[in-house]
Structure 1
Amino acid sequence: MTCPGCEAWRTGITLKVPHSDAEGVRRSLASARSVQWLDATSVLMPPDVFVARAAYWQAFFDTHAWRVEWGGPDGADGTDRPFDAFVGGLPSLWVDELLARRAIRMAMQPIVDLTKRTVVACEMLVRATASDGSFISPHALFEAAREQSRLFALDRACRIEAIATASRLPADWDVFVNFVPTAIYVPEHCLQSTFAAAERHAVHPSRLVFEVVETERVDDVAHLRDILAFYRRKGVRYALDDFGEGYSDEHMLRAISPDVVKLDRQFVDHVDRDPAKRRVAEGLARVARSLDIRLLAEGVERPEEAMALLELGYEWQQGYLYARPSLEVPDGSIAWLPRA
């Protein structure tokens, strides 16, 4: 015998909500694929779309009157179940177990201003351990969350933990916090907990720089701009991560006009020796200056790379040359600096 939640993974799920909640649900599904509204209050969707948003709906709606049916695209099987009970019957997933154990921590890697010869910021980098104590790579963690439809819950937990960790840093350091745009459905809902954490831990919004990651997965640029506009209204800045080579990257840069843009580490590696990489770094610097965007080079490991990038205008740099990520609060010391 299989549970309804397990069986639902092979079919489709119809969600029925009160009229008062329908518009909010519609907004949360705006970026989802293969969603079909059957009438004003009933919507059919793939199971992964449903599961990805279940925690969000429970957090921001009163779901006690919501109902769920599961079945194929031609209609449900007629079995009507309460939403909360249905969600409770979904398969247990290891990302949920990890979140329940509060097994996510943040390593801090300093960002250095070479002209001021000081640390000016830290990037918060997720670290997680399995129940047996083994390390889970960030890539594996987020891929599992995506496969298990737990990206919303994981991304939210990481943002909150990053801000809690940032409260331990010097008050004049900026804080770079990564976020996955596809995990944010309605900014004023999904980001409530983020700004509540900032208030709770006394981390002023002006210190926060939210870093857009996985831009290659962003199909809805208008939705991303809505998220970033919400950040701006809250007084925070945002950065574009992993800028690379090609039209799509420059188009994204102009479309969202970030406060900071990070040159991808693949173009930092031996940029002092590789003319092609230098052309990419120069091209980004030229566009960024025209848009008044600060440049940041990440993955700097050699003094020669640092000096070549500084000549191009990359005054902010990050990498093993200066400091490695650490779970302990950085003391502000810098392993290498150019001669004064």
Structure 2
Amino acid sequence: MSCPGCEVGQGGVTLKVPEEDVEGVLRSLASARAVRWSGASTVSMPPDVFVARATYWQAFFDTSSWRVGLTGPDGADAPDRPFDAFVEELPSVWIDELLARRGIQMAMQPIVDLTKGSVVACEMLVRATAPDGSFVSPHALFEAAREQSRLFALDRACRIEAIAAARRLPADWDVFVNFIPTAIYVPEHCLQSTFAAAERHAVHPSRLVFEVVETERVDDVAHLRAILAFYRAKGVRYALDDFGEGYSDENMLRAISPDVVKLDRQFVDHVDRDPAKRRVAEGLARVAQSLDIRLLAEGVERPEEATALLELGYTWQQGYLYARPSLEVPDGSIAWLPRA
């Protein structure tokens, strides 16, 4: 016989909360799809929306009086049950196991300022291992978290691990930390643990550069701007990752005014030989410089690429040409620098 929690994927979920929690729950569901409120304190949602937020709700609300009901595929309602008991019976997934055994680490890749000839920052890059010790690619890791409704838990764990690793870096290096906007429901709640980790590990917020990844998945720009405003109020800078080609990207750049913008590696590859890629790089440089946004080229692998990009104003660069990501703290040496 299966438990009620095990059947959560087969229908819909109805959540009943006390009146004093309605506003907070409403905010946490603002970016979710197919959410329907009935009455003042009852909300129905798809199962994956519920599962994705269950851990968050338990962390920031007193859920002892909350109730959960299920609607089956045939439209019939099951009797509602206490929220905490229901969540406890939800089936475990391998992302849960990975986080429980602390199976993620942070590799560090230096970012170089070519005008100074020195390392000025490191990007923290997640590395994960399966129980058998095999490598799990970052793409596979986050796609699994998305499919298993665990983006909130994984994204939070990665941010905390990145800051913990950053304590080993030189104090004058910036620290680039990736985050997924759709995994942050209410900034002042979801980011508490991030800033607590920064305080615990003595990593000053002014060193942090939070990097918006998966920009193409951001439909709610207002929500993203609220997150970034919270970061900036805490003294943190932010970067826009993987800037590409097109009007929508330029709109995003103007809408959120990042401190740093990264040129997507696909436009870095052989930019010295490909006129179309050079036009994209030039276009980004022109807009970014007009908005006083720092340019950063990632994925630089050849001296010719580096030189061409430097001429366009990409003084900050990152890639195998300078150093590969490593679990060990970079020693600050740079494999290549332009001739004086």
TM-score with structure 2 setting the length: 0.99
Instruction: Report what 1:159 is aligned to.
Output: 159
**Structure 2 equivalent of residue 17 of structure 1:** 17
Aligned to 1:92: 92
Question: Deviation of residue 109 (structure 1)?
Answer: 0.1
Q: Tell me if the contact between 2:269 and 2:305 (Cα under 8 Å) persists in the aligned partners.
A: yes
Paired with 2:194 and 2:29, the residues of 1 have a C-alpha distance of 21
**Counterpart position of 1:199:** 199
CA contact (8 A) 2:72 2:78 kept: no
Residue 73 of structure 1, CA deviation: 8.5
Q: 1:74 Cα shift? A: 9.1
8 Å contact kept, 1:16–1:43: yes
Aligned to 1:9, what secondary structure does the other structure show? Answer: helix
Contact 2:121 2:174 in 1 (8 A): yes
SS at match of 1:127: strand
Contact preservation (8 Å) 2:10, 2:73: no
CA drift of 1:75 comes to 6.6
| Cα displacement string for residues 265-311 of structure 1 (whole angstroms, at most 9, x for unaligned residues) | 00000000000000000000000001000000000000000000000
Please tell me the residue identity of whatever aligns with 1:258. P
Q: Distance in 2 between matches of 1:247 and 1:74?
A: 45
Shift of 1:72: 4.4
Task: Supply the distance in 1 between the matched residues of 2:271 and 2:260 (Cα, whole angstroms).
Answer: 20
Cα gap change, 1:158/1:76 in structure 2, threshold over 3 Å: closer, same or farther?
Answer: farther
CA contact (8 A) 1:268 1:300 kept: yes
1:38, 1:138 → 2: CA distance?
39
Say whether residues 1:336 and 2:304 are aligned partners: no
Tell me the residue number matched to 1:247: 247
Does the 8 A contact of 1:13 with 1:50 survive in 2?
Answer: yes
Contact 1:14 1:76 survives alignment (8 Å): no
What residue number does 1:300 align with? 300
SS at match of 2:10: coil
1:105 matched residue in structure 2: 105
Q: Deviation per CA, 1:179-237, whole angstroms, max 9, x where unpaired?
A: 00000000000000000000000000000000000001000000000000000000000
**Shift in Å, 1:2:** 1.8
**2:217 matched residue in structure 1:** 217
Tell me how far apart the structure 1 counterparts of residues 72 and 248 of structure 2 sit (CA, whole Å).
Answer: 38
**Residue 8 of structure 1, CA deviation:** 1.9
Structure 1 residue 6: Cα displacement? 2.0
Q: Distance in 1 between matches of 2:12 and 2:163?
A: 37
Rounded to whole Å, the distance in 2 between the matches of 1:36 and 1:119 is 50
Q: Residue 269 of structure 1 aligns to which amino acid in structure 2?
A: D
Q: Does 1:169 align with 2:166?
A: no
The 1:74/1:134 distance shift into structure 2, 3 A limit, reads closer
User: Is the aligned partner of 1:258 residue 2:255?
Assistant: no
Structure 1 ranges of 4+ moved more than 4 A: 72-76
SS in 2 for 1:271: coil
- 1:279 equivalenced with 2:279 (yes/no): yes
**Could you tell me how far apart the structure 1 residues matched to 2:323 and 2:94 are?**
32
Query: Structure 2 regions of 5+ residues with no counterpart?
Result: none
Q: What's the RMSD between the two structures over aligned residues?
A: 1.0
**Aligned partner of 1:204: which letter?**
H
Q: Distance in 2 between matches of 1:74 and 1:174?
A: 54
Deviation for aligned residue 1:153: 0.2
Give distance in 1, aligned partners of 2:55 and 2:216: 25
Output one character per residue of 1:140-199: Cα deviation in whole Å (capped at 9) or x when no partner: 000000000000000000000000000000000000000000000000000000000000
Query: What is the CA distance between 1:77 and its match in structure 2?
Result: 2.0
| Aligned mates of 1:75, 1:38 — CA distance in 2 | 16
Aligned position for 2:118: 118
| In structure 2, distance between residues paired with 1:33 and 1:18 | 22
Which SS does the other structure have where 1:241 is aligned? strand
1-structure distance, mates of 2:189, 2:51: 17
Which residue of structure 1 aligns with residue 321 of structure 2? 321
Q: Distance in 1 between matches of 2:54 and 2:76?
A: 19
The answer to whether the 8 Å contact 1:244/1:267 transfers is: yes
Which residue type is aligned with residue 12 of structure 1?
Answer: G
- For 2:146, the equivalent position in structure 1 comes to 146
Segments of structure 1 that go 5 or more residues without pairing to the other structure are none
Whole-Å separation in 2 of the counterparts to 1:282 and 1:81: 58
Q: Which amino acid aligns with 1:174?
A: D
Q: How many residues align?
A: 340
Amino acid at match of 1:214: E
Secondary structure of the equivalent of 1:219?
Answer: coil
